[in-house]
Every structure is written in C-alpha cells, then in structure tokens.
C-alpha cells in the first residue's frame, strides 16, 4: 500500500508541465536554484542587520516604518470600510436627517435636522462665510444662523424648506462605556465608527491667544506689537490700535482686556472694537491655540500626530468622550448607537485619542433655548 | 487536570501516527515550501499556550515567578517543537483537522478558568475577518463592555519623579506592570492613582529598557485591590483588543478612557494596534476580550494606526530580573544621539533690520563664547543676518558639536566669536522607531 503511494507521488513529479522537465536531472536543479535564490536574498539582509547601528541611523529617514513592511488590509481596521458597512442599517434612519454644511463652497461641518421646517443644528465656529446646507436628497439650500451657543460651540441654522425628515431626540443618558458609536455623514455607511470612552463630564476651558503685545506704560489697552501668524495679524490689527471693547464688553483697562480675551477658547471668534487714527473700527478676530513663536509642547505634538484637530476643542460644559477618529469638517453631526438612537452631536476632534460630543439630552435643551432666543 | 493529560497523550499519538505514515525524508524541502504558511498554524501555537496555562495554573495570576518560568518554558518548548513539526503537520491536513476539533473542545474547557468567558458565538464573530451585521456588532459590544468593567478599575496612573504614565495592577498583592520609560530607574518612590480616587504609595522595581517594560510594587496593598490576570501568549493579528490608560495625565473627574481596536501587526518585541494612544498612556494595558493583559503601551508613530505595545510574553522573559529590581538595556548614548536639537542659548528680536540679542542664557554656548545681551549679530559664517529668525534658521541647520563663527556688533565695535553648538533633547524625537511617549507631566 505504502509503496504504491510513493510511486504515485514520484510519477506526478515526472509528468511536469513541460516534457523537458520530465527527467529527474532537471527537476533537482530547479529545487536547487530556488534554494540558492532564497539564500541570495537572505544573506544581504542578514549582513545588513548585523552591521553597525550607525549605518541604520543614517538610513532612518528613508526606511519604512516597521508596520509598512507588512500590509494592513482595510478590512482589519476597526473603522475600516468593511466594519463601517455593517452599520448601514443602524444609521439608515438618521442619515436621512443629516446634512452637509458648506461655507463658501467648501465642506466645513455636518449638521442634523432638528425641526421639520428647516432647523439644523451644527458646529458654530465652522461657519464664517456664506452658508449652504446639502440634504441627504442632494438638494442644497442657503442657510442663515438663527441662534448660537458659544459655550457648546453649537449653532442653529434655518433653511427655507418644509416637511423635512427630522432626528428623533430622546432625553436619554448616553450609553455605557464600550458601546459602539457611529458618526453619521452623507454616505450609506458612517463617516467613522468608534466606542464610548468616558461618560459625560465638563471639558475644561483653556485660554486662547490673540497675539498682541500691549503698551505697559499706560493703563489702557494699546497695541504696540502684532505677532506674526496669529489671529491678530490675520484680523488686521495694527500697532497703536486702542481696543475699546471685546464682544461688546467694554475694556477700559489692560487687565480687563486680557481677562476678556482669556475667557475665550482657541477657535472662538472675537468681535473687537478698536480706535485707529480717531476712527472706530469693528474687527473680527479668531483666537489661536498656542503662541506660534513657541515650539509645540510634547503633549500638543503627540495629540496632532495622525489626525487633524478642531480649532475650537476646549471648554464644553458637558460632553462625553469617544475614540472615533473624525475630520474637523465632520463635527457637528449626529452620533448614533447600535439601536440607531441619536445619542449626541460631535463637538470637536480634540486629541489623538479623543472626540467630544454633546449628549442628546443636553442638546434638546440647547435647541429649545436657541429657538427661544 | 487528568482530562488534559489524557487529551495531550491522545493528541501526541495522533500527530505521531500522521508523521510515521510517510517517509520523513520527503519533507525536507517542505520546510522551505511551507514557511509561507506560518500564519496559518500560528493559531495552533496559541491554543497550545492556552492549554499549558490551564495545566500550569488556575487563573493566570502572575505573581509567582516559578509558575511564570514553568509556563514560559512550556510555551517556548512548544514553539521549538512546533517550528520543526509544523510543516509536516501542515502537510497532513487530515491530522490537523483532527487536532483542530480536539483543541476547540479543549478551549471550551479552558474558558471556564478565564476571568471573562468568551462565549462560543462571540468567538465565532471575532475570528471572522470583520463583523458583517448589527447582531455581530452587538455581540462584540457586549463583550467589550464586560471587559471594560474589569479593565478600567485595574488601570492606574503612575507618578514617578516629574513623570506621569499609566500602569495596570496584575496581582492581588499589588504588582503593577508599566512601561520602562515611565519609571526609569529602580527603587524610586512612585504614587499610584486608582480610578476610584485612592492614592497608593509604591516603589519602582526593575526596568527593561530594551523593550520598554517596567514594574512597580504597591506598598501595603489594600485587600480589595482590583487586578487583571495576564495572558502568556502573543496577540494574534486581527484580534479585537481594548485599551485603557490615562492619556494626558490622570484627571480627577475622568475615569480611564476606553478604546477599541484590532491587532494590526505583531513582532517579537512589539504589537501594533489601531487603539489610539497618546502621551500619558504609556504603561497602560492592552486587554483581550477575555479580560487578560496582553501588552503594555509603549510608543506611537506618525500615523493614527501606529500605536505600539510591548507584549507580556516578552516581559515575562525577564520577569524575575524585573522583580529583583534590575535595570537593563537602552544605553544613554542612543537616547541622546538620536534626539538632539541644536541650540546656542540666546533670545532676541529683530530691530531696525538687525538681529538684536536680548537675552543670553547662562552656561549655554553663547554665554561661554562671551556673548552678551544687547549684542547685534551681523553675520554667521560670513552670511549676513538681518533678523533673529534668520539666526535661528542658521542654528537649526547645524548639528550639535559643530562650530559657527558669529560677527557681532557691540557698542560701535565689531568682534568675532566662535560658538560651539550644543544639543538639547528634542521635544520631537526623530528616529526609525516610533516616537517615545511623554515622560513629563502634561
């Protein structure tokens, strides 16, 4: 029995594809050649690896990152297209009431329809310029701002449309830590998915930077220096400008001016009233995060690795944290759990590990107060 | 226990039978041929490790070094054996199939000893390439939420000196596993911040800087200390994993944030996942869906999917040395040479198209070369300089150790000084490996 089997094995070898290779003397060298090729490849690799470390260091920049040496198939990624498509049924309902908010023709945020007569909730600090909203059915409308909540950086928009599908917002507390969360966008699958990291808490405020130097000879806020690459320079503030008020709050002294600016977070818009050459001007400036003439701290550097962060990302009275990696232009839209229930609205991409969202129960109250306003 | 022994005897007999069936000589080439099939039988190796864990201990608490050694040897013995036998096994699909049936039934038995049972239906889902529908997502979610309930209380913030990182308690008597760069040296005072608000005192034990692993022992551990068992096996590629830690330092009003991801790559001394990490997470646990610690966080890279962890199996190789407080690996030289930024130690501004030095920092090169505040730098190595930015650009072009010649105007006179450029630790480390994480308290 055994002998027969071995013979069969040999026969199949001899009946190669080409008749030339039938005889054993051709088959064996082929094996040998393939082995030699293997050795020829592996020897230089081995030689390099045992070489001096310095050589590797010189090559450091041209070398691929360790993981680039192996391929990562997209289906393996936690927020890859394959996993995302498993959420299609979950977000189907919410998707109909999600809009793309565009300013000056560029995608800047997502939004959710919260009133059938065209009320849309979105992220406020992404809205300078002419606003349009594109609905799930591809219709595009011009929008105007009807209410803003600066604490949560949310805005209520109004478009001229009726009988729109709306999001069902229930006053439920957010799901448990570890629950899947999907960020709904305009596509059939979600923009990105992740899990609940931390339940609602207050996100601390951090002061923004305007980028001006003040005259310390007088008590009034007179600008003596405008630093390059800051919000002050972009807004066109100039030397010798006297700041009269910040967001309609008068600033008679330097201390008052500094305090008013520090109340605001990076990414917040400021309305400044300044006196220049006897004229009174209104200037809109945007606060920036760190002082641009300083190197980023380790924390800032690491948080910006791998993803772009929202400008306005600190200081929210109540927000839950999830690990979904989204673009800053995908903030403002609804987040749903596995039941398809809207559990919140994305507020900001805040760090490498974190995205903040306002819980649905808080959002309901905010919408009411913005409507009333 | 007897079931396992009988089972293994049976398994061994099956394998032998399969091997004896054929002439071993014919399989010499197959070692090369089937080496590409490595990943196919890698799962087999893992299940053997699970089996041995069941033989060697009940619950996987790793405080007993002897037990650890026994298990490690078992695992390595099996690995060596399998690396020889695997091609042959692979050839004998029939035998492999029988083995697989046997191992699956054994797995069910082993599961009972795990902290969290991974139900068969969940296991089926997570072994797929990806979840297909909502029901499967829900199964994963249930499991993740169970793991979260165990993993978050056992995650601690570790404060050592000026540094802050994370760690995970792995035994009831207060052994904390963390990253080597979080503790640095042995026998330092450490503070451990539990998510329930308790602050415990500890001492650092050893550190293995080759792979970036370290240990802290809690002094006078309370009786109700939460801890996680550790898994003495390498994670599988594609495995679903959960991470916790204290990114950005421990905050009073924030429990350790949970992140979900999958293993994207595995090597001997690192695991790469798409669980996002950031400074402060270092030393926190990577937990599998059975609630066991598989690795501790070590470093991150420029892409969002470059998050590196040190596998526990690798740490176990030096477990006793770490317990004994030994520190080894990672010379200072490599740390310094790859992370230096050129600096001369002056501050200044542009004034009337000139580069004015407003401040000279003590005991840095500019100070040692005799520069003073109020100096105007006119040229660097013969090139005219008109602003402070230009001067900094010139300095950044240089390497630490090089010399640059500055022409300086001081109270009407022009003098020349040679400044030897120094290096400081770069806030942005550069190297072929991943960025090492923040050691400073953010």
* pLDDT confidence of residue B265: 87
- Which of A51, A62, A79, A302 to mutate to test binding with chain B, by most B CBs within 10 Å of its CB? A302
Query: What letter would DSSP give residue B132?
Result: -
Nearest to A306 among B272, B275, B304 (CB): B304
Q: How far apart are the C-alpha atoms of B173 and B196, rounded to whole Å? A: 18
- Among B36, B143, B265, most A C-beta atoms within 10 A, so best to mutate, is B265
Whether residue B198 is found in the same domain as residue B324: yes
**pLDDT recorded at residue B40:** 33
pLDDT of residue B319: 93
Is there a single domain that holds both residue B109 and residue B196? no
For residues A109-116, give the mean pLDDT. 96
Contacts of B1 (CB under 8 A, 6+ apart): B55
What's B413's domain CATH number? 2.30.42.10
Chain segment B325-338, per-residue pLDDT in tens: 999 886 443 343 34
CA–CA separation, B11 vs B29, rounded Å?
25
Instruction: Flag the least confident range among B88-97, B183-192, B227-236.
Output: B88-97
In a domain, A71, yes or no: no
Is-contact B285 B298, C-beta < 8 A? no
pLDDT band at B387, cuts 50/70/90? confident
B344 part of a folded domain: yes
Q: Is residue A292 part of a domain?
A: no
Alpha-carbon dihedral B410, B413, B417, B419, rounded to 10 degrees: 20
- The tokens of B413 are what? 């006179």
Indicate the pLDDT class of residue B54, thresholds 50, 70 and 90.
very low
Residue B276 β-bridge partners? none
- Over the stretch B278-320, which tens digit does the pLDDT of each residue have? 999 999 999 999 999 999 999 888 789 889 999 999 999 999 9
The answer to whether residues B108 and B175 belong to one domain is: no
Residue A46 — very low, low, confident or very high, per pLDDT cuts 50/70/90? very low
Identify the closest residue of chain A to B145 by CA–CA distance: A178
pLDDT at position B428 is 33
Q: Is the pLDDT of residue A241 over 70?
A: yes
Q: For chain B, say whether A224 makes contact (Cβ under 8 Å).
A: no
Distance CA A307, CA B344 (A): 33
In a domain, A314, yes or no: yes
- Measured CA to CA, the distance from residue A7 to residue B63 in angstroms comes to 57
What pLDDT was estimated at residue B242? 97
Among all residues of chain B, which has the CA nearest to that of A78? B261
DSSP B423: E
Residues A170 and A234 in one domain: no
Average pLDDT along chain A: 83
CA angle centred on B260, ends B53 and A358, rounded to 5°:
150
Phi-psi region of A43 (alpha: psi -120 to 50; beta: other; left: phi over 0): alpha
Q: Does B248 score more than 80 pLDDT?
A: yes
How high is the pLDDT of residue B149? 94
Of the candidates B255, B276, B432, which has its C-beta nearest A198's C-beta?
Answer: B255
Q: Which tens digits make up the pLDDT trace of A121-176?
A: 999 998 888 999 999 999 999 999 999 999 999 999 999 999 999 999 988 889 99
Entry field: residues in chain B = 442
Name residues 79-108 of chain A within 8 A of B (Cβ): 79-80, 82-83, 86-87, 89-90
Instruction: Find the residue in A nearest to B392 (Cα).
Output: A293
Same-domain pairing of B172 and B242 = yes
Closest C-alpha to B372, from B384, B357, B387, B355: B357
> What is the pLDDT, as a whole number, of residue B418?
87
Q: Is residue A272 located within the same domain as residue A305?
A: no
**Which of B374, B343, B344 minimizes the C-alpha distance to B358?**
B374
Question: How many independent structural domains does chain A possess?
Answer: 3
What distance in Å separates the CA atoms of residue A24 and residue B317, rounded to the nearest whole number? 48
Asked if pLDDT for residue B267 goes beyond 90, the answer is no
* Same-domain check for residues B177 and B326: yes
Do residues A165 and A308 share a domain? yes
The answer on B280 and B380 residing in a single domain is: no
Instruction: Tell me which chain B residue has its CA closest to the CA of residue A82.
Output: B130
Q: Which among A300, A266, A303, A304 has a CA at the least distance from the CA of A285?
A: A266
Report the percent of chain B where pLDDT is more than 90. 39
> Using an 8 Å Cβ cutoff, are B69 and B75 in contact?
no
- Test the A interface: residue of B279, B330, B341, B428 with most A CBs within 10 Å: B279
Left (φ > 0), alpha (ψ -120 to 50) or beta: where does B391 sit? alpha
Spell out the alpha helix ranges (H) of B327-384: 332-338, 365-368
Specify whether A264 is located in the same domain as A135: no
ipTM score of complex: 0.78
Task: Give the single-character DSSP code of B251.
Answer: -
Same domain (yes/no): A360, A308: yes
CATH of the domain at B222: 2.40.10.120
Report how far residue A298's alpha carbon sits from residue B163's, in angstroms, rounded to the nearest whole number. 13
* Residue A303, C-beta contacts closer than 8 angstroms, at least 6 positions apart: A309, A351, A352, B248, B278, B279
CATH number of the domain encompassing residue A282? 2.30.42.10
- Residues B308 and B160 placed together within one structural domain of the fold: yes
Poorest-confidence range of A68-77, A303-312, A335-344? Answer: A68-77
Least confident of B27-36, B48-57, B95-104, B191-200: B27-36
Stretch B413-417: mean pLDDT: 90
C-alpha–C-alpha distance, residues B236 and B258, integer Å: 21
d(CA B323, nearest CA chain A) in Å: 30
The helix (run of H) or strand (run of E) holding residue B89 is: helix B65-91
**Coil, helix or strand at residue B180:** helix
What is the nearest CA distance from B3 to chain A, expressed in angstroms?
35
What is the predicted pLDDT for the residue at B108? 39
pLDDT grade for B254, boundaries at 50, 70 and 90: very high
Q: Are residues B228 and B204 in the same domain?
A: yes
Report yes or no: B297 and B243 within 8 Å, Cβ to Cβ. yes
Mean pLDDT, residues B28-47: 35
d(CA A285, CA A269) in angstroms, rounded, equals 6
CB of A321 within 8 Å of a chain B CB? The answer is yes
Q: Could you list the residue range(s) of the whole structural domain that residue B198 is in?
A: 148-331
Residue A363 has pLDDT above 80, yes or no: yes
Does the pLDDT at position B436 exceed 80? Answer: no
Kindly state the tokens that stand for A33.
């050649």
Name the residue among B396, B215, B194, B394 with its Cα closest to residue B318. Answer: B215
Contact status, residue A182 vs residue A174, Cβ threshold 8 Å: no
Chain A, window 9-48: residues with a beta carbon less than 8 angstroms from a chain B beta carbon: 9, 31, 34-35, 38
B227 with B248, same domain: the answer is: yes
Mean model confidence pLDDT for chain B: 76
Query: Residue A278: which domain range?
Result: 212-286
Whether residue A134 is found in the same domain as residue A266: no
Mean pLDDT, range B396-415, rounded to an integer = 85
Contact A66 B265 (CB under 8 A): yes
Q: Which of B304, B338, B430 is nearest residue A307 as measured by Cβ atoms? A: B304
Tokens for A260, please give them.
């008013």
Q: For residue B98, what pLDDT is reported? A: 60
Strand spans (E) along B301-410: 307-311, 327-328, 340-343, 346-351, 354-360, 376-380, 383-384, 403-410
Q: Nearest Cα to B283, choosing from B208, B333, B221?
A: B208
Residue B263 confidence class, pLDDT cut points 50, 70, 90: very high
Residue in A60, A75, A197 closest to B258 by CB: A197
> Does residue A36 surpass a pLDDT of 80?
no
User: Hey, of B17, B274, B351, B426, which one would you mutate to test binding to chain A, going by the most A CBs within 10 A of its CB?
Assistant: B274
Query: Are residue A187 and residue A117 in the same domain, yes or no?
Result: yes
- Residue B51 pLDDT > 50: no
What distances in angstroms separate CA B326 from CA B167, B413, B431, B436, one per listed residue? 19, 59, 27, 22
Encode burial over B106-122: b for 16+ CB neighbours within 10 A, e otherwise.
bbeebbeebebbbeeeb
- Closest approach of B67 to chain A, Cα-based (Å): 33
- Give A 230-269 residues with CB within 8 A of chain B: none
Report the number of distinct structural domains present in chain B: 3
Tens of pLDDT along A267-279? 888 999 999 999 9
State residue B360's pLDDT score.
80
Nearest chain B residue (CA) to A36: B32
Same domain, B325 and B344: no
CB contact under 8 A, B32 and A38: yes
Instruction: Could you list the beta-strand ranges (E) of B174-236.
Output: 175-178, 189-193, 199-208, 213-218
Give A191-204 pLDDT, tens digit per residue. 999 999 999 999 99
pLDDT band for position A5 (50/70/90)? very low
User: Who wins on pLDDT, A36 or B372?
Assistant: B372
């Amino acid at each position: 029995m055994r002998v027969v089997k071995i013979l069969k094995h040999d026969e199949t070898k001899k009946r190669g594809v080409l008749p030339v290779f039938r005889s054993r003397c051709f088959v064996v060298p082929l094996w040998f050649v393939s082995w030699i090729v293997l050795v020829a490849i592996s020897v230089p690799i081995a030689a390099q690896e045992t070489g001096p470390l310095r050589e590797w260091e010189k090559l450091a920049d041209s070398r691929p990152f360790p993981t680039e040496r192996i391929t990562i198939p997209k289906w393996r990624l936690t927020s890859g297209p394959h996993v995302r498509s498993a959420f299609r049924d979950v977000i189907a309902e919410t998707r109909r009431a999600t809009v793309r908010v565009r300013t000056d023709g560029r995608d800047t945020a997502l939004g959710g329809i919260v009133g059938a007569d065209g009320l849309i909730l979105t992220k406020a600090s992404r809205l300078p310029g002419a606003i349009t909203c594109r609905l799930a059915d591809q219709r595009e409308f011009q929008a105007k701002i009807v209410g803003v909540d600066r604490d949560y950086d949310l805005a209520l928009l109004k478009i001229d449309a009726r009988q729109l599908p709306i999001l069902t917002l229930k006053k439920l507390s957010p799901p448990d830590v570890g629950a899947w969360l999907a960020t709904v966008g305009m596509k059939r699958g979600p923009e990105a998915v992740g899990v609940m990291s931390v339940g609602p808490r207050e996100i601390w405020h951090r002061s923004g930077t305007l980028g001006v130097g003040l005259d310390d000879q007088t008590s009034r806020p007179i600008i003596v220096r405008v630093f390059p690459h800051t919000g002050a320079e972009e807004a066109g503030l100039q030397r010798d400008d006297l700041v009269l008020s910040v967001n309609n709050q008068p600033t008679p002294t330097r201390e008052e001016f500094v305090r008013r600016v520090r109340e605001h977070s990076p990414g917040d818009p400021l309305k400044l009233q300044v006196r220049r050459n006897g004229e009174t001007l209104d200037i809109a400036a945007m606060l920036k995060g760190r002082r641009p003439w300083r190197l980023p701290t380790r924390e800032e550097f690491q948080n910006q690795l791998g993803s772009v962060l929202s400008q306005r990302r600190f200081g929210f009275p109540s927000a839950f944290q999830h690990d979904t990696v989204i673009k800053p232009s995908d903030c403002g839209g609804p987040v749903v759990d596995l039941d398809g229930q809207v559990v919140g609205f994305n507020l900001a991409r805040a760090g490498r590990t974190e995205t903040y969202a306002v819980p649905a129960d808080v959002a309901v109250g905010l919408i009411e107060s913005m409507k009333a306003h | 226990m007897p079931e396992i022994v009988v089972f293994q005897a049976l398994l061994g007999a099956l394998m032998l039978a399969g091997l004896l069936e054929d002439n071993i000589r014919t399989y010499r080439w197959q070692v090369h041929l089937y080496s590409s099939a490595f990943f196919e039988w890698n799962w087999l190796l893992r299940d053997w490790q699970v089996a041995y864990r069941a033989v060697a201990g009940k619950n996987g608490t790793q405080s007993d070094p002897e037990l650890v050694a026994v298990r490690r040897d078992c695992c390595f013995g099996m690995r060596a054996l399998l690396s020889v036998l695997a091609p042959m096994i692979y050839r004998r699909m029939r035998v492999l199939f029988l083995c697989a049936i046997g191992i699956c039934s054994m797995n069910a038995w082993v599961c009972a000893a795990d902290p969290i049972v991974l139900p068969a239906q969940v296991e089926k889902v997570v072994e797929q390439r990806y979840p297909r529908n909502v029901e499967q997502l829900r199964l994963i979610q249930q499991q993740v939420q169970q793991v979260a309930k165990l993993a978050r209380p056992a995650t601690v913030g570790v404060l050592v000196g000026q540094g802050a990182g994370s760690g995970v308690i792995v035994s009831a008597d207060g052994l904390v596993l963390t990253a080597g760069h979080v503790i640095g040296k042995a026998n330092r005072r450490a503070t451990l911040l539990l998510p329930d608000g308790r602050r415990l005192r500890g001492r650092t034990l050893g550190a293995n800087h080759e792979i970036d692993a370290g240990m802290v022992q809690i002094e006078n551990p309370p009786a109700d200390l939460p801890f996680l068992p550790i898994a003495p096996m390498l994670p599988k590629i594609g495995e679903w994993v959960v991470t916790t830690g204290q990114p950005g330092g421990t905050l009073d009003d924030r429990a350790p944030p949970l992140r979900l991801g999958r293993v994207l790559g595995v090597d001997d001394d690192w695991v790469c996942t798409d669980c996002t990490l950031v400074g402060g997470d270092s030393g926190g646990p990577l937990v599998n869906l059975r609630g066991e610690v598989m690795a501790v966080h070590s470093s991150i890279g420029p892409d969002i999917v470059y998050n590196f962890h040190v596998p526990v199996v690798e740490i176990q190789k030096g477990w006793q040395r770490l317990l004994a407080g030994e520190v080894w690996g990672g010379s200072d030289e490599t740390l310094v040479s790859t992370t230096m930024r050129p600096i001369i130690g002056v501050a200044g501004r542009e004034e009337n198209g000139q580069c004015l030095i407003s401040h000279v920092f003590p005991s840095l090169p500019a100070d040692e070369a005799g520069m003073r505040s109020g100096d105007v730098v006119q040229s660097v190595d013969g090139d005219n300089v008109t602003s402070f930015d230009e001067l900094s650009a010139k300095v950044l072009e240089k390497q630490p150790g090089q010399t640059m010649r500055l022409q300086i105007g001081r109270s009407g006179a022009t003098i020349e000084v040679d400044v030897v450029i120094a290096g400081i630790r770069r806030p942005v480390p550069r190297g072929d490996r991943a960025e090492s994480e923040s050691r400073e308290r953010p």
